[in-house]
Structures are given as C-alpha cells and as structure tokens.
Structure 1
Amino acid sequence: MKNTSINEKKIYKNTELPISERVKDLMKRMTLEEKIAQTISIDTTTLLIDENEETELFESGQIQNEKLKDLLVNGIGAFQLPGKHMSPEKSAVYRNILQKHIIDHTRLQIPVLSQEECLMGQLSKDSTMFPRPIGLAGTFDTELVEEIYTAIGKETNSRGGHQAFTPVLDIGRDPRWGRYEETFGEDTYLVSRMAVSVVKGLQGGSQGVEKGHIISSPKHFAGYGQCAGGRNFAPTDIPLRMFRDEILPPFKAAVMEAGAKGIMPSHSEIDGIPCHANKWLLTNVLRDEWGFDGIVISDYNDASRLDLLHHVSKDVEEAAVCALSAGLDMDIPSGSAFNSLLSAAKKSEEVVKLINQAVSRILKVKFELGLFENVYADPDEAKTLVNSKAHKTLAKKAADKTIILLKNENDLLPIEQKNIKSIAVIGPNADPVEFSYYSTRPNIGTSILNGIVGKVGNQCKVLYEKGCHITKSVKVIETETNVVSKNPTLYTLDEEIEEMKKAVEAAKKSDVAIVCIGGSPSSSREAVTLQKHYGDSATLDIVGQQNKLLEMLLETGTPTIVVLINGKPLSCGFVYDNAPAILEGWYLGQETGNAVADVLFGDVNPGGKLPVTLARSAGHLPAYYSQKPSGFLKDYLFEIEGPYFCFGHGLSYTTFEYEGLALSKSVIKIGDSVEVSVNVSNTGDRVGDEVVQMYIRDNVASVTRPKMLLKGFKRITLSPGDTKKVKFEITPDKIEFTGIDYKPTIEAGTFNIMVGTSSKKFDTVVLTVIE
C-alpha cells in the first residue's frame, strides 16, 4: 500500500487535535463550490415525490431521486425536516441513508446538519406533543420547561436531528398577531427565564451541546413580535432604549447564560434595516458584545427577501452578499440567495473571505457536535424514546400545570362527580384535540370529550354535541409549482342553528354543561408572505357563532363551565362577563383531555397564571402591564377601565395569604444585592400551587421607566395549613437600565419592591439605593 504523507492525511478526522486546527485543515482542502455548499440547506422531504420512489429508497438503502443527488455533489450544509412524515425509526433510517450518501459520494465526507422545528415537540410523526409555549409560560415553572425541552431535544436527536429552530423569544404584546401563541408572553423577564430553560433543555446544559442533545436556535432576532398593526412581516418601530431593555434581554440570556449555539434573525426590520442585513445586530451586538460563537441561520428565504420584499438590494446576488456581510452563515431552506455566491465570489475577494468566515463557523459547530465521529442515528433508540411512557407522563404534568382558572363564581368548580348524573360536552374544541400549526397531528392525543368520558366511566352519562364550528374548512389548492392555502371563512347563524339547537337540548338534559370554545389555527395562525395567506386578526374575540352558542346554553339555566382552547390571548367579553366558571387552556398538547378532566373534577388543582394581559378589545391595545406610568394615565370614553384579567392572574381551588414582607436591608449601595422575603400560607382545604411574583418600580430616574417590572417568580406547592418563606435576591442587574447616555446604568434612589399573587394584588416595601 502506498504510504500517505503527513500533508495528505486527513487531519480534520483526528479527534485528538483542537477543533480550530481541524477546521483549518478541512478549509484548506475545500474548493469554493464545496464551501458554498456548506452555507446552504435543502428540503429533502419534498423531493420524495411518490410512494414507489420512497419504497425503493428504503429497500435499496440508497437515494433514488436524481435531482437530490445533483444537489449533493459538493456536499451540503443542512437538510430540512427530513422524514417528518415517517415513523420515528423510519425517519432515523432515512436520515442515515442521506448521511451515508454524503459519506459514500462526496470527496470530503462532511456530515450534514438535520434542522428541525421543535415548538411544542419535534415536527415529526408520533413525537410527544407538549403544551404551546404561551401555555408553558403560564406555568411559571422554569424547571418543568427545561425538563420538557430536554425530552424534545432527546427525541429529536434520536431520529438524527441536530438543530432546532427553537425557542421563539419574541415579546408578545399585540394579540392581533397570529403567531402570538409561539411566544412566552408579554414580559421580558419571564421570557428571558423561559429562554434559558429551553436552550439548556435542548442542548443538555449551558456548556455547549451535550451528547444526545441538539443545537438551540432562538428566534426571531429581534423585535419580530412588535410588527406594526400585529400584521406578520410588517416593519417594527422600536426605540433603541426599549430595544435594549425589553426586546434583546431574552436573546442575551439565551446566548450568554445558556450558551445557545444557533440564532435565527427576524423576518422584520428595525429602523429601516432588515434584520438579515443588519451587521450591527448580527455581528456587533451578537458576536462582539455577547460573545456568540455559533451559527446564524436565515429564516426561510429571508436572505432573498432583502431583494424581493424589502428592496434594499437590486437583485438576489446582492442580497446574498449583503446578508453574508451582516453575519448570516447559512441560507435555508433552499439557498435561494446563497446559490448566487459563486458568481459573487468570482467578482470579489472580499466575498471569498466572508464565505470562508461563514463556513469556518459551520464546520466548527459540526465538529463540536461530534458529527464526524457519530453521524448515524439509532432507529431502535428512536422507536423506544419517542413518545415514551415517561414523556407521556411529562406531557400530562405540563398540561396540568398550564391550565389557568380565570373565574369561578360560587365555587362551581371543581365538579362534585357524585352529584352529577349527566354531563353535556359541547363545542368545536371538545373533539378532536387541537394542536395548532408547527405540530404533528397524529391520532395520539386525548380530546376533552374522551378525557371526560374516561374520567366518569359508567357513573355518569355524557352527551356530546359540537354545537358550532370556529371557521369553515380551509381549502388547499395544489399546483405544479405551489401550494396555496385559501383563507378561512365563517358560518352564518342560519347555517349552524340546527346544530346549536341540538347542543341546547343536550344541555337541558344535563346537570352541567362543559363548553369547549376558543380558537384554532384557522382563526389565528402564521401569515405567509408574498401570498394572500392571512393569519392575523383585527378582532380579539372568539369568532363565528361561538358567543351565540354560549348565550343559548346559558339561557337553559344549566350550570355552565367554559374551557377555552386557543393560541392568541382572547378578549371574549361575553364569555368573561357571563360564564360563571372559565378555564384557560391554550393548546395543551396530547394530554389535553386528561388534564382538563382532572382539573374539572378536582383531581388537579389549577395553579397556572396569565403570562399576558387580557385586554378588553383590540381598541385597548397596547394593554401589557409594564408600560410607562403615562401610558395608563387615561383610558377611553364610554369604556370600562383596565383589562379583563391582569398579567399574573390565576385562581385556585384553595386560598393563599401573604404576610411579613421584608427586606434584609432597607438601604444598600449601588452594586450591592439585597434579599426580600415573604411568608405564604395555604389557608384553604386543598393542596395547591401558588406563583409568588416580585415586581420592582424605579420611583425616580433620569429617563422614564415602566410602572412596574417583573423581576422574580417562584411556583410553590403548599398543603392546607402550611406556610413557606419565599425569598428573592435583588441583584444589581434587576435595577439596571439603559441610561440617558444609552449605557447600562444603575442610579441611586428609591425602589418599590412589590410581592404578591399578580400584577394587581401585592404588598410593597421600599428599598433605598445610595451612592
């Protein structure tokens, strides 16, 4: 055998060498075409066009599609959602076939990232589906959230996934926006703490990506949730001080505290500069200030949209160079812009340098993941782990903790089952389970109807009627070049009155009516750009004939409990004003029915709190609690003041009392920390969870400050008669803000420290900070 010289040895395969040396060695071996291929991803799933081709692929263990083979000649940076419609073990096999093709048919055998959506579980068949992020935020339980995303990360990795476009760290303050349900709510501190939990869960801690875990890629960096008018893709108008203090902190925590290895920029723009072209954001802040050392991946086709949508580039090639210069490393899902980098590189040595920079970052991450040594997934592990018994149990625990008791007149809840002979289960969200978009829709979930039937068994008769629909079915038009989802329409009263009458009759025959109404992905969803695919709403009320259905049911006199299942925060005034008992469920995942049934019948005591303010109407926006004092100075003519329900609100089947709020010191110096404590007692007769919340107000500052800001929370469980001392540490960062000179500032003065059960119900002590 011919001896191999040192220079010919593949140093990049040597695991004993530092990753930096392995990257340099591999970069020296790569052609320009191979480098550009690493900056691009492709959607492999859509290239499996027919069942025969898929069957042959699995029988032979080799790629059959010639178009896909051509795309992989020089290797590729990433695959998009490969095998998402396949079973766990089959999708692992499919990913292995793709990776083996790269090993067998490319010169340098560079493994490929498998990039995934993991909003409430991996977007693949049979994955465990947990509650939506907006619901998980309402648990105020960071340990639970980390546990959930640990499970999601492991399931994803077991199928051969490597990177998640998760979490969504946009601050949700405009409920008209169809993507609100993807957020962790309206508060910067709450979203920041959830950010750390999600990233650590997906990556296995804060020290990089542990074995069996995946890259977390927080999005949409940054300000996407502040789109004008709540219209998806609209520009954002955010003052720099607000941007620094309220919008960036969750991303900063995800990067600096949790060590996120990915970032996805926002579709939107800030002060006229699209985020995908914003070097100040993607390089100066992200890398230079925060020390980010991962990869920046585009949101779908957003590099090309610098030309097509934002018009800051004259063509796609210029858009590609603009995004690359700003700090974008990879163009997904198809390289619609970066495919033109070869042409651009031939014209400019500077473009070549930028390509080298991006590719070095991508290769570094692949080495850190250990892909060169462990490229294949284990189908047996995927089969065993995905939606395992332990993960199902965790999904139930999460759903239990997500549910919020908004209202409970005359202690209608919980239902005393022994006193009930018949139950009417009514409404469009009673059956089946609604998972919403960015989730799998396999038949693995328990609906509210089935959960109640399973709970009462033969002891009680259950009468079910749909009553009405939320919207008419959405039609999907497929052409040879595109898939267009038509916009939903609503039913008229005449079209639904007969179904509604059947629901009324069921209620009349029952001792209690459970009315399951709210929203669906047809009434609030992601709006797709460059198509008239709408998803945002001008109204915050429930749509269709749902209010009329509830009105008719209330007129029967049957005790009525409303269960809201929805994504965006609702301003359904008729429901809030007239229903005697209301549970807010959001989208609860696969254990929806079991969790709702346990709460209805008192086996679980609800302890969730609102991570949002429920405004009276769209006309009352913005309604978030942490506005400046002048924002709340006056309300509107002919309107009731204040929201329906405040941030942090949530009732229980037991009662809690707060006593003895005190500071460890009443006066501290700038830079010092102090402890605040309070005694919380369960004064009722049931075990219950309470979310203790700490808010701070800076009473006098050199720039105007919010009326109050959440700066601490703890969810505790207390048995009847028990008391727990809850402590919070007030560290310097909790009173810091962007000062008049736009630098981080802590000023001497007095601060109200408010601790209580919501943003409206608290006790106060005063802290003095001196020079």
Structure 2
Amino acid sequence: MKSKKLIIAAMFIASAVRGGAQSLPYQNPNLTAEQRAEDLLKRLTLEEKTRLMMNGSPAIPRLGIPQFEWWNEALHGIGRNGFATVYPITTCMAASWDETLLEQVFTTVSDEARVKAQQAKRNGEIKRYQSLSFWTPNINIFRDPRWGRGQETYGEDPYLTEKMGIAVVRGLQGPDDAKYRKLLACAKHFAVHSGPEWNRHSFNIENLPARDLWETYLPAFKALVQKAGVAEVMCAYQRIDGEPCCGNTRYEQQILRDEWGFKGMIVSDCGAIGDFWQKGKHEVSKDAASASAKAVLSGTDVECGANYKRLPEAVKAGYVNEADIDICVKRLLKARFELGDFDADELVEWTKIPESIVACEAHKKLALDMARKGTVLLQNKNGLLPVDRKATEKIVVMGPNANDSVMMWGNYSGYPTRTITILQGIRRKAGNVKYIQGCQLTKNEVENSRYSMIKSPDGQKGMKATYWNNTNMEGEPVTTAYMREPINLSNGGATVFAPGVNLEKFSARYEGLFTPDQDETLTLSIGCDDKARVILDGDTVINRWKSRQRIDYQQVKRNFKAGKTYTIQIDYVQENDMAAIQFDLTKKTTPTKEQLLAETGDAETVIFVGGISPRLEGEEMKVDEPGFRGGDRVSIELPQVQRDLMAMLHEAGKKVIFVNCSGGAMGLVPESQHCDAIIQAWYGGEQGGDAVADIIFGDYNPSGKLPITFYKSADQLPDFEDYRMAGRTYRYFHGEPLFPFGHGLSYSTFSYGSPKYDIKNGILTIDITNTGTRDGEDVAQVYIRNTADPDGPIKTLREYKRVALKAGECGNVSIELPRERFEVWDTKTNTMRVVPGTYEIMVGNSSADNSLKKIKVKIK
C-alpha cells in the first residue's frame, strides 16, 4: 500500500505542477526535451538517479516524477497485458515481404499500447508491460533454423530485416513531425546474437570475421539507428571477444554511438548485468557493484534487473563517477520527455485514442490480411489446391496442431478475444468436416483434454489462480487471475506469471471444480520447477514438494464417476532461477494404424495440420522432448510420429495436404514426397485459421515468400555454435535446399522478361506477366553479386517489390535500385562501401538460380 500511495502522491504533484504556473524549467513543455532533461538531472540525488535507471522506475514524489516501466512487449501485438490483437508470429509477417502492411500493423499496435498505458495511469499504478517503452523489434539474423527464437526475427537476410525493422519502428514511434513520440521502440539484441539458448549466459563469440560482422550482423541495426531513429537498442546476453555485449565498449561506444551517431538509450537484456559476475556465467566482474559500473561506463543506460541498485556503492568504491551516471540518466529522462510522460494529457495527442480500438474488428481484419500474405504455399503437386468446396464431404482434418489455439499465438504473445484455429477455419468454409487428432506432436498418443470442463469455485471458466510474492502463500495475495486454458507458464526470458508477481520467490494456488459427464479414467499431468503438488478431493495425488527440484513431469491416473464434482487444487512454489508449471486433465489413448485408417474411412483427402509448437521452441526453455534443447532444436526434421502417419496415409492412397506450423524452417524431405501439397502456416495469430482455410479453398490466392532457407536437414549446416556465415543462408550456402529463400507458389503463374537497368537514374525495369487464369500477386526480388569478389555472397537481396496483376496482364515494373544498393564488403579497405566494378543483377520470384533473369552492369 505504501508503494501505491507514493505513486498517487507523485501523480498528484505532477498534476498540480502541470496545472499551475511553470516554476521550474523541466516542468515547461515549451522547452526541448534536451533542455528539460538537463534541468531535471541537476535536481536528482544519486540514489534517485539509480532508481530511474532500472526497468521498474518508481515515482519520485518530491519532483513530481511519475512511475515508469521500461519493460513492455509487442513482438507481434501487445504482449502480456490483457486482451489485445494477436498478429501472426514475426517470421510469418516477414514472409509477407510487405513493409507497408507491416507498418500499418504496428501503427495499430501502438494505438492499443497507448490506450493500455492510459488505463494503467488512471488506475494509479503502472505494472510491468503497461507503459510506453517497447522492446521490439528483434532484428537479429536468423542464421540457423535450430534457433528457437528465430521465430521472433524477420528472417535470414540483412536487407529484408532492415526494411521490416524500419517499418516496425515507424509504426510504433509515430510520425517524425509529431510533437511527442507515440512509443519508444527498441532494436534488439545488439549485437551478433542468434542462439544457442542453452548457453547464452556464458557463451563467447570469438574470431568472427570482420566481413560477417559488417555485411550480415550489423546492417539492420545501423539502418534502424540512422534511417528510422529507433529510440532504444538492447544489448545481448553473450560475450564477443571476451566482453559481454552489455559491457562492451567497442560495440556500445565506438560503433553504436561514435560511428553511427546513436543518441538514444541502450537497455540491457533481462538479467544480463548479473551474468557479468554470477558463478558459471561470464564471470568478468567480481560483484554486482563492479558489474554495474562496467555496464554504465560502456553505455548501458537502463538495466532490466536489480544490479544497478549497487551503483551508489560503485561510486563510493571509485568504480564509476556520478558524472558517468549522469550521462545515462540524461538520456533516459530525455526519452521520457519526448513521450510527454511529464506533461498533461491534453497536450499529448496520443492520450486521446479511444479504448474501443483495442482488439477491434478492424485490427482483426488486419491480422487476417497479414496471416494471408505471410502464409507460404511451398508445394502443390498436380494443382491439388485449391480444394473444390463441392468435395468437402471427402475431406478429413487430422493432426496435433489442427485444433490448438495457443499454438497459433506464437511466443511473446498477448491474449486474443477469440482465436480461429485451423480446424475452425476449415469448418467455417466447409461445414462440420471430420477431425481426427491422430497423434501428439512427438508421441504416438492422443490426449483429449478435459480442462474445458473445469470451473473455478466462483463459477468462472477454468481454474482460479491466486499469487503471493512470498514462498509460503501467506498474507495478502498480490493478484488473482483465471486460467482458461490448460496451465502452461514459465519465467523464461524473465517473464512474470501475472502482472505484479515476482520473477522468483513467489507462490501460487490454482483451484477448480470438475464434473465429468461420463465414467472414465483420466490422467492428471503436472510439470514444474521448483515445488508443486496436486490435490484431488483433499488427497495429494502428485507430490513434488521438494526444494530446488529441476523441471520434471509427473502423471497419475484416476477413475472419475459421471455427475460427481471433484475439487482440484494445485499448490506451486518458486524459489530460485527457473519457474515453470504446466497442468492438464486428459484422456489418453494410443491409436493403431488400423484404427486411424478406419476413422478416415472413404475420405479422399486428408488435411494434416502438424509441425511443432511454441511449447517446444522458444526462449531459454526446459523441454523434456527428444530433439529439443533449451528452446532450440537439435535437428530440423519433423517429429517421426508425424512422418510415419503421413507416410501411412500416402500409402493408403489418400491425397495429403500438409499444413506445417513452426517458427522456422523444417526439413521436410519425406513430406515433399508423401504430401501432394505443403502449406507453411507458421504461428498464424488469432486469425490464422481463417487465413489457411482461405488459401486451401481458393478464396485467397497465396503470395507469401520464404524469408529463410528450408534446408533438407541439419546435416547441411555447420555447427550451431559457429557464428561464421560460411555455409549458412542463401547467401553462402552452396548445397541444394529443399525450398530456397524467397520461394512461394501462387495459384497464378508469372513470367519474367529480361531486366534493364538505367544506371544514371538508378531504375531497374522488367516486364512481368501473369500467365495464369487467376488474378494474383508476386514479389519481384532483385539480387546482386560483385563478380570480382569470389569470397563474397553467392547473391544478396538488394530490393523487392510486390506486384499485383490480373490474369493475362503484363506489367512493366520499375524498381528503384540507386548506387548505394551496391554497397558490399571491400576486402582492400575492410569496410562496407560501393566498390566500382562489374556486378551481376538477378531478378525473379525466388533466390533459386533457375528463376532469375540476369544482366551485368558496371558501377563506377
């Protein structure tokens, strides 16, 4: 209560100051943000400055400084802050190759963010995920498909990532000519980061070739700083050449600030400063005070964590001067003034956005548009797709992802007001087609959840969750919530279980009432780290009440009688490090081949919806499944049980349409043989089910293009921990991919003429003809190669353009390709520049050589 009173007092003082005479310079909205920050800085004590430098920045009532939270998420929609529009996962949006649409998406995201920030302000307390600084976009290069967080990126290509990242920043931060910034966007993770997840707190990248650094890993960051004016950059966990990224003077000071002129803020990844000194991690500092000093001196302005509490001690010890801290504090104050955080709402245009826009129908329509454009048709043998609606009685839907709504959300998601699963999308088009689960993602089992039959003690859907910020379930709960889906929570990526709940040292109780409608034997399943127990009708049926126990899974079967009401209680305690809990109540069976074929009956076509799931791939996860490690994948092949099932269906004479759900590339060699059609659906967001159905039944002509290479297997790749680009991505991979970067089929066909290049005006022109019978869109992709550089990329994307053509129409397409697009690595000067010489220009609708038309030009 004391904390809330201080917040309200600060808001009262700030309101009084805003409403009265402007007596101090920092209170004057007519001064620049720079001038106001300079004035306010002088009035702060060292302890107050320190508090402002941590992600949960408390109010300072004596100066009218309101509370602020730097840590908010908006990877593909507002994350972890109640209901919001959930757009497709990032790789899906990258597959649209449509930065104009992407900027529209993130303009709606910033609208919803401003509304939620206003709601939190009115409530008198701003919790995590409720403020105006958003740690997105992730512009790391998806260099290896095994990386579980690759789904958060815009693919493997630096230029496509740059274009998409700029669009995100512009959508979030608002127009350049606005008086106040709409939000603060953040380019992450700087620099050279793309897994592995299991060792990122101790991993050191050594001897990275300068070419790879400047040609692949840094261009998107430079572009977002210099072209988009991104407000924040987040430093990564790992070390580069022995120095942690968040304490790396070369990267933060010399490159980011001195060479690129970045004037914004650098924020740490969550817990990254603690990695400097904690045993078993980087261990480059002796304690929190010296680690904090190292980070500040390198230029890290805000810490996500609690080490910066020791900065006063670091000053006293002589590790850092207060003047060094002032540099950081001035930057963060300036950013808050640019948001209008200290000014009256009537002065800030973004505070007037109506609450009705949150998760509104217009935003849902945009989510559908993006899911349609980002869904990629990989294979379509004999034109099986689109499916004739008249033949829907001969269709069966099968597969573990068909009716999974949570899978559709991807990671770092918000909570949609409704989700259209792929099964629901198909049924909305084709009626009540039959569904057979067939298997789980990795096991030859079928689990039918009974969780939807559980109600809370007060009659709400699902189980009631009560949280305490202690490990004893004592005192006043910090919050309550309702778990309407089977419980699946973790603090991976420093994620709290619910707003206001600690990351560590907390406890929870989940309560529900279950009334079965038939007699049956069901399985209660629990997975957790640290303590948990499952209590059924007062009896403890699963007991994991041991301290510091690693994540593990236990199950117990019990007989249930129809009509009887059973009480289910789960107690959970988190003590240190990893926090995780999963719970479900299921009916488990193992179907035989004969049973599955009997269930499919005389169906001619099976739509198999499989792949993997955010439950298996993601950020620093603990997954007890073969083929997965720490959120990453050990191999990229589809789980064997799914392979076997589709092979069985093929051998039985069924036509198989495989809808693959994953955040990254999959090795689908057998599937390309056993399946007539393959659709890459990614994690399609709340409207993804309708998008897939629209494509299957021909209501939308697919146009998505892969932003990553689909290899045949991980055997084609170098070691995961090798950050050199040799042998990776379409730019350096000399093998034969299964599906190349830029690939994506349509129900139309497109023919490309010979390109012409006007060197003087920097314009490329090419005739493109829709040779099909349907109107459609294609993405014209322009690649270049420096013919005098045998060690350079095989080809590298330098521009692209979406082209809409009616059936039979020929369009003369103009694409801007100015001289600066020919910037490459100069081996003589070890710099990126336009090297005069002969270049090959390649134009087509994928990166595959046989789809490209080529010309050579001389650049002076």
Pairwise mapping of residues 48-197 of structure 1 onto structure 2 (< 5 A)?
76=57, 102=59, 105-123=61-79, 124-160=81-117, 161-197=131-167
Instruction: Tell me, yes or no, if the aligned pair for 1:155 and 1:382 is still in contact at 8 Å.
Output: no
Partner residue of 2:55 out of 38, 41, 45: 41
Establish whether residue 420 from structure 1 lines up as the match of residue 392 from structure 2: yes
Question: Which AA in structure 2 matches 1:718?
Answer: L
Q: How does 1:251-400 map to 2 (within 5 A)?
A: 251-308=221-278, 309-332=281-304, 334=305, 336-348=306-318, 350-374=320-344, 383-400=355-372
Counterpart amino acid of 1:580?
A: D
Q: Which of 797, 800, 803 is the matching residue for 1:716?
A: 803
TM-score when normalising by structure 2: 0.75
Identity rate, percent: 33
Distance 1:418 1:700, change over 3 A: same
SS at match of 2:268: coil
Alignment match of 2:739 (pick from 625, 628, 645): 645
Correspondent of 1:438 among 402, 412, 421: 412
- The reply to whether residue 757 of structure 1 matches residue 845 of structure 2 is yes
1:11 aligns with 2:25: yes
The answer to whether the Cα contact below 8 Å between 1:453 and 1:462 also exists between their aligned partners in 2 is: yes
Higher mean displacement: 265-274 or 741-750: 741-750
Tell me if the contact between 1:424 and 1:506 (Cα under 8 Å) persists in the aligned partners: no
Whole-angstrom distance in 2 between the partners of 1:258 and 1:184 = 16
- Using the TM superposition, name which of 569-578 and 617-626 deviates more: 617-626
Structure 1, gaps ≥5 residues long: 43-75, 78-101, 489-494, 633-640, 666-671
Shift of 1:485: 5.6
Q: How does 1:628-667 map to 2 (within 5 A)?
A: 628=732, 632=734, 642-665=736-759
Letter in 2 for 1:112: F
Tell me which residue corresponds to 1:562.
658
* Corresponding letter in the other structure for 2:381: E
Compared with structure 1, are the counterparts of its residues 500 and 198 closer, same or farther at alpha carbon in structure 2 (3 Å cutoff)? farther
In 2, are the aligned partners of 1:649 and 1:759 still within 8 Å (CA)? Answer: yes
Q: How many residues in Structure 1 have an aligned counterpart in Structure 2? A: 679
Q: Is the Cα contact below 8 Å between 2:196 and 2:632 reproduced in 1?
A: no
SS at the partner of 1:264? strand
**1:742 offset after TM fit, Å?**
2.1
Is the Cα contact below 8 Å between 2:190 and 2:233 reproduced in 1?
Answer: yes
Distance change (3 Å), C-alpha of 1:210 and 1:642: farther
C-alpha RMSD over aligned residues: 2.9
Which position in structure 1 is the counterpart of 2:648?
552
Partner SS state of residue 479, structure 1 = strand
User: Aligned in 2, Cα 1:613/1:605: closer, same or farther, shift over 3 Å?
Assistant: same
Question: Where in structure 1 do 4 or more consecutive aligned residues deviate above 6 Å?
Answer: 228-233, 375-380
- The answer to which of 720-729 and 346-355 deviates more is 346-355
SS in 1 for 2:801: strand
CA separation of 1:619 and 1:370: change in aligned 2, threshold 3 A: same
Letter in 1 for 2:192: G
8 Å contact kept, 2:289–2:308: yes
Structure 1 residues 577 and 689: CA distance shift in structure 2, 3 A: same
Tell me which residue corresponds to 2:38: 24
Unaligned segments of structure 2, at least 5 residues = 1-16, 118-130, 444-524, 530-571, 583-587, 719-726
Offset at residue 582 of structure 1 (A): 0.5
**2:613 paired with 1:520:** yes
Displacement of 1:593 after TM fit? 1.1
What are the Cα deviations for residues 448-490 of structure 1, in whole angstroms up to 9, with x where unaligned? 1111111123xxx5111111111577723342424746799xx
Q: Quote the residue 1:767 is aligned against.
A: 857
Rounded Cα–Cα distance in structure 1 between residues aligned with 2:381 and 2:387: 13
Give how far 1:114 is off. 5.0
* CA deviation after TM superposition for structure 1 residue 210, in Å: 4.8
In 1, Cα distance between equivalents of 2:187 and 2:179: 14
Query: Which range moves more in the overlay, 679-688 or 735-744?
Result: 735-744
**Cα deviation 1:219-259 (Å, max 9, x = unaligned):** 00111116599978633343222111111111111111011
The structure with more helix, counted as a fraction of residues: 1
Residue matched to 1:466: 437
Q: Is the CA contact 1:170–1:225 (under 8 Å) kept in the aligned structure 2?
A: yes
Pair 337,382 (structure 1): closer, same or farther in 2 beyond 3 Å: farther
Q: Is the 8 A contact 2:824 2:835 kept in 1?
A: no
Q: Which residue of 1 aligns with 2:426?
A: 452
3-state secondary structure, aligned to 1:192: helix
AA aligned opposite 2:85 = T
Structure 1 contact 697–706 (Cα < 8 Å) conserved:
yes
Mark the CA change 1:184 to 1:693 in structure 2 (over 3 Å): closer, same or farther: same
Q: How far has the Cα of 1:625 moved from its partner?
A: 4.3
Match of 1:618? 714
| Inter-partner Cα distance in structure 2 for 1:652 and 1:178 | 29
Q: Which amino acid aligns with 1:470?
A: L
Which letter does structure 1 place at the counterpart of 2:223? A
Change (3 A) 1:550 1:41: same
Q: What is the deviation of 1:721?
A: 1.3
Assess if the C-alpha contact under 8 Å between 1:192 and 1:254 holds in 2: yes
Output the TM-score relative to the length of structure 1. 0.83
Q: Distance in 1 between matches of 2:853 and 2:197?
A: 36
In the TM superposition, residue 429 of structure 1 has moved relative to its aligned partner by: 0.7
Distance across 2 between alignment mates of 1:228 and 1:728? 39
**For 2:781, what is the secondary structure of its paired residue?**
strand
Residue 744 of structure 1 and its aligned partner are, at CA, apart by 3.5
Question: Residue 511 of structure 1: which of 592, 596, 604 is its match?
Answer: 604
CA displacement at 1:526 relative to structure 2: 1.2
What is the Cα deviation at residue 553 of structure 1? 1.9
Most deviating of 239-248 and 479-488: 479-488
Q: Give the Cα separation in 2 of the matches to 1:316 and 1:146.
A: 40
- Partner Cα separation in structure 2 for residue 22 and residue 745 of structure 1: 39
The residue type paired with residue 747 of structure 2 is: Y
* Change over 3 Å in CA distance of 1:145–1:303 after alignment to 2: same
Partner of 2:562: none
Q: Which whole-Å CA distance do the structure 2 matches of 1:601 and 1:344 have between them?
A: 65
How many Å apart are 1:759 and its aligned residue? 0.7
User: Is contact 2:69–2:133 with CA below 8 Å preserved after alignment?
Assistant: yes
Residues 547-596 of structure 1 deviation map (CA, whole Å, 9 limit, x = unaligned) = 11212222231221010111121113221222110100111100011111
Taking a change above 3 Å as real, the CA distance of residues 422 and 383 of structure 1, as seen in their structure-2 partners, is farther
Q: 1:12 to 1:443 in 2, by over 3 A?
A: closer
1:715-765 per-residue CA deviation (whole Å, 9 max, x = no partner) reads: 111110112222223323222233222233332221100001111110001
SS of the residue corresponding to residue 803 of structure 2 reads strand
- The answer to whether the 8 Å contact 2:71/2:133 transfers is yes
SS of the residue aligned with 2:575?
coil
Cα distance change of structure 1 residues 725 and 162 upon mapping to structure 2, 3 Å threshold? same
Q: Within 1, Cα distance between the matches of 2:271 and 2:442?
A: 30
2:421, 2:688 within 8 Å by CA — same for their partners in 1? yes
Q: Which has the higher strand share?
A: 2
Sort the Cα spacing of 1:193 and 1:343 in 2 relative to 1 into closer, same or farther, 3 A.
Answer: same
Aligned-residue offset at 1:187:
0.6
**Residue aligning to 2:460:** none
For the residues of structure 2 that align with 1:723 and 1:232, how far apart are their CA atoms? 54
